[in-house]
Amino acid sequence: MRTSKPLALFTGAIAALLLAGASGPGAAETAPGHGISDGVVKIGLILDMSGPYSEVTGAGSAAAAKMAVEDFGGRVLGAPIEVLVADHGNDPDRALSIARDWIDNQHLDAIMDVSGTSEALLVQRFADVRHKIVVLNAPQAARLSNESCTATAIHYVSNTQSSANTVGAGLMRQGANTWFFITVDYSFGYDLERDTMAVVEARGGKVLGRARHPLNTHDFRSYLARAQESKAKVIALANGGENLEDTIRQAYKLGMIPGPQIFAGLALRITGVNSLTLNTTQGMMLAESFYWDTDEATRSWSRRFFERVKLMPNSLQAGVYSSTTHYLRAIAAAGSDDTDAVLGKMRETPVDDFFAHGARIRADGVLVHDINLFQVKAPFESNYPWDYLKLVATIPGSEAFGSLKDSKCPLVKQ
């Protein structure tokens, strides 16, 4: 379970990792160009499979990784590819334990996702100590590729900064210049609130108030009442999973959606819109790097995904497929599963697929690509199943993810 002390957990666990050093059984690497170590490529995903974030990651993310492996042919450089999936139960210590077992005992080559910021912080640091690649699709906190960045991590789909720059700047351009935040009380919520506030205030907007709630809160009526009383033009929801859906559902029951105040779901995904229905979410604003109905390439892949999962994919799940494919292509190009060789190929090769076009991994590990601002359609605007979003604006990656000159990542040379 996440608490309001994720950094304390992180600090203690990392101290133990550093004492262990990089000499554990997972530290050995195959020399570049020497093929596949152990004769198999193993990738793993550490996810919320049954808890509050399972809808946006969970079985869908696992299915996306397996699709990528199958589409790649199931082998790379003649070696079979295995996919491991584990449920961390939203417990950072459990996530770390899984990563340790996989890397030290099961010879895992790379981790392709870790849902949850607190879990990702621990696993990312451990993977760096063991010199293993970790790709983060689900966790959004900008600190993962900012002050907490590591040399072997890639932040693939989006982060709190890109969401802030997309939703915050987009609504400010429309004159929505007063804001109220309802924020979950842990690192992800803090980052999402802080980054969006910075965008709003830099453009002359005002934050009229905020209300912070514990993780797994179920009654949001008092927080919504404060937001309504503030008369802010935008009510920004800096929470996720079931907390986000409960907030939206209760706002609808209170007659606030649709209403005079704009609701911005800073971590809302299409899977959440589907669960809540268009009637409940109509008019809401959200940022997504991927939408299934964008073009023929996105529709083709998404329909195959739907056949397996019975849901259309969100950006986090599409990102798992894209990043897994990018990783496997890098192994093939490097002629080895050596971490440095593969990372070099991943960084030098642009990502150009249905998920992103001409995207590149920069020095802080961020994959820079365009982010879209969407508005949820009203029921009468939807013409067929999953026809949920209408495009408001496309924010170029350089604007969405900000400049490296502002980065606090120690890997970035200023």
DSSP classification of residue 351: B
Rounded to whole angstroms, the Cα distance separating 398 from 187 reads: 25
Confidence of residue 331 (pLDDT cuts 50, 70, 90): very high
User: What's the confidence (pLDDT) of residue 235?
Assistant: 98
User: What's the confidence (pLDDT) of residue 7?
Assistant: 42
Q: Is the pLDDT reported for residue 145 higher than 70?
A: yes
Q: For the domain 6-158+300-369, what is the CATH code?
A: 3.40.50.2300
Q: Is the pLDDT reported for residue 27 higher than 50?
A: no
User: What's the confidence (pLDDT) of residue 325?
Assistant: 98
Confidence of residue 52 (pLDDT cuts 50, 70, 90): confident
- Residue 218 burial by CB count (10 A; 0-12/13-18/19+): exposed, middle or buried? exposed
Domain with CATH 3.40.50.2300 in the chain: 6-158+300-369, 161-288+370-400
Name residue 262's beta-bridge partners: 234
pTM metric for this prediction: 0.89
**pLDDT tens sequence across 74-121:** 999 999 999 999 999 989 999 999 999 999 999 999 999 999 989 999
**pLDDT tens sequence across 232-277:** 999 999 998 889 999 999 999 999 999 999 999 999 999 999 999 9
Confidence of residue 335 (pLDDT cuts 50, 70, 90): very high
| Residues whose CB falls within 8 Å of the CB of residue 82, separated by 6 or more in sequence, listed in order | 40, 41, 42, 43
**pLDDT tens sequence across 301-313:** 999 999 999 999 9
**pLDDT tens sequence across 170-203:** 999 999 999 999 999 988 899 899 999 999 999 9
**pLDDT tens sequence across 357-372:** 999 999 999 999 999 9
| Residues whose CB falls within 8 Å of the CB of residue 355, separated by 6 or more in sequence, listed in order | 289, 290, 315, 318, 319, 321, 322, 369
Q: Is the pLDDT reported for residue 123 higher than 60?
A: yes
3-state SS assignment for residue 98: helix
3-state SS assignment for residue 234: strand
Rounded to whole angstroms, the Cα distance separating 244 from 63 reads: 24
- Residue 16 burial by CB count (10 A; 0-12/13-18/19+): exposed, middle or buried? exposed
For the chain, give the percent of residues with pLDDT over 70: 92
Buried b (16+ CB within 10 A) or exposed e, 350-373: ebebbbbeebbbbebbbbbbbbbb
User: What's the confidence (pLDDT) of residue 16?
Assistant: 45
Torsion angle defined by CA atoms of residues 96, 102, 130 and 14, in that order, rounded to the nearest 10 degrees = 10
Q: Which two tokens stand for residue 313?
A: 């994919």
User: What's the confidence (pLDDT) of residue 188?
Assistant: 83
Q: Contact 319/136 with Cβ under 8 angstroms?
A: no
Name residue 206's beta-bridge partners: 178
* Start-to-end CA span in the chain (Å): 37
User: What's the confidence (pLDDT) of residue 6?
Assistant: 42
User: What's the confidence (pLDDT) of residue 414?
Assistant: 55
Find the mean pLDDT for residues 371-388: 97
The candidate with the shortest Cα–Cα distance to 145, out of 133, 132, 158, is 158
State residue 276 phi and psi, 5-degree precision: -85, -25
Buried b (16+ CB within 10 A) or exposed e, 244-274: bbbbbbbbbeeebbbeebbbbbbbbbbbbbb
Residue type, 334: A
Q: Is the pLDDT reported for residue 23 higher than 50?
A: no
Name residue 135's beta-bridge partners: 154
Rounded to whole angstroms, the Cα distance separating 271 from 412 reads: 35
For the chain, give the percent of residues with pLDDT over 90: 85
3-state SS assignment for residue 117: helix
Query: Crossing angle for the helix pair 117-129 and 6-20, nearest 10 degrees?
Result: 10
DSSP classification of residue 312: -
- Residue 82 burial by CB count (10 A; 0-12/13-18/19+): exposed, middle or buried? middle
Find the mean pLDDT for residues 215-238: 96
**pLDDT tens sequence across 86-96:** 999 989 999 99
DSSP classification of residue 15: H
User: What's the confidence (pLDDT) of residue 241?
Assistant: 85
User: What's the confidence (pLDDT) of residue 4?
Assistant: 37
On average, the pLDDT of the chain sits at 91
User: What's the confidence (pLDDT) of residue 199?
Assistant: 95
Q: For the domain 161-288+370-400, what is the CATH code?
A: 3.40.50.2300
User: What's the confidence (pLDDT) of residue 105?
Assistant: 97
Rounded to whole angstroms, the Cα distance separating 362 from 351 reads: 12
